[in-house]
Amino acid sequence: MNVVRRRRVLSGGLALAAVAGAAAAAPRGDDAPRRHTAADHPPRLRAILHRLTTVDGVPGALVEVRTRCGSTVLTSGVANVKSHAPMRRDSGFRIGSMTKPFVATVVLQLVGERRVALDAPVERYLPGVIRGHGNDGRIITVRQLLQHTSGVPDYLTHLTPQEILEDPLAHHDPRDLVNIALAHPPTFEPGTGWRYSNTDYLLAGLLIERVTGRTYGEEIRRRVIAPLGLHETYVPGDDPAIPGPHPRGYVRPGEGAPLRDITAINPSVAGASGSMISSGTDLNRFLDALVRGKLLRPAQQRQLMTTRPTGNPDGRAYGLGLESRPLPRGGLYWGHGGDILGYGTVCGATTDGRQATVMVNLNPGGTDAQDADMKAAVQTALRENRHP
């Protein structure tokens, strides 16, 4: 979900969590056969984190990097601007649109089970939901929802952060959010363009529920969270709380305005487009399993990673709920970004076993420099933390 800064539609990369205290390193159970320290990481990565929390104005930032040799957490800044508490290395946070790869994984598993057809019309599974209002569920396909080529408008274009901030604990029904989008004309004819739309994934969540008889959250828990042992990953429903240790999440309502604490928010405003909570450890484990084919059958794995250009000059391309980006020295990494009120996250992984997650605890209210430094942190971690 990108509720605040739509110019940063996606930021595939590593997981950087902006929230924490002094630089720290931590092994993570089975993921850490040996202890890494901050000194194991290039000064460039530590300098980027420091810049995020000083020059860029983010309260705190966290990056967790994982390779086959171990896992390391680096932090900078604070988790709480009042108490100045440092962020714990096991912090959880809202992951926004990083929810989309989880949802896409469930849909593709259903495709592998022959319960859903990628190129079938959405109308087959959600009769009457899209049809009308200039949008036609008989033409729009499931694949187009997952790849943002449906032309369905983004409901967040018409539901502003200011409106959400007026009543952050309000429940939002996904059908109501879809109807906000469908009150407006299509962005383009289905299949003729690419444009990021959170509405696509609200519809994907409704599709999962119609096909399985269970909510998208229940299916994610059953098919992804439990099998991978993601103990810090949740689909919270209407619960405004973040379980376990976590940084406070902030917004800056206007230029020069004081920070507002928005940690408690009803995540139904994001739904299947961006409601989930996770951690750097869990996101890295999930991305590793996803890009290395451990969650999908081979045919669906190929579909997941068959991309189309997004038109962005940085070369990013979008598959089915997963984005690819070129690394500066060659090769690709796979991931997604996620903005939701209070938190910004970017995650990335390579197919040879490197992952990184970055999170910051200020969103919206950041700058272009913040976006650039989060991207740089991802690329630096993935490029410079290769297997020995």
**Fold category of 15-384 in CATH:** Beta-lactamase (3.40.710)
The stretch 22-43 carries a mean pLDDT of 42
Query: Poorest-confidence range of 33-42, 140-149, 200-209, 254-263?
Result: 33-42
95, 338 contact by CB (below 8 A): yes
The region of weakest confidence among 48-57, 204-213, 234-243 is 48-57
Instruction: Confirm whether pTM is higher than 0.75.
Output: yes
Nearest to residue 221, comparing CAs of 230, 212, 209? 230
Distance CA 207, CA 203 (A): 6
Quote the pLDDT of residue 386: 56
Structure tokens at 160: 């502003």
The answer on pLDDT for 1 being more than 70 is: no
Spatial neighbors of 115 by CB under 8 A, at least 6 apart, are 211, 212
- Which one from 11, 71, 76, 97 is the annotated catalytic residue? 97
Token pair for 384: 């410079």
Compute and round to an integer the Cα radius of gyration of the chain.
19
Q: Is the peptide bond before 364 cis (omega within 30 degrees of 0)?
A: yes
Checking if the pLDDT of 354 tops 90, the result is yes
Residue 339 CB contacts under 8 Å (≥ 6 apart), including other chains: 1, 2, 3, 4, 5, 8, 96, 97, 345, 363, 364
* pLDDT of 206 over the 70 cut: yes
Instruction: Give yes or no: 11 in active site.
Output: no
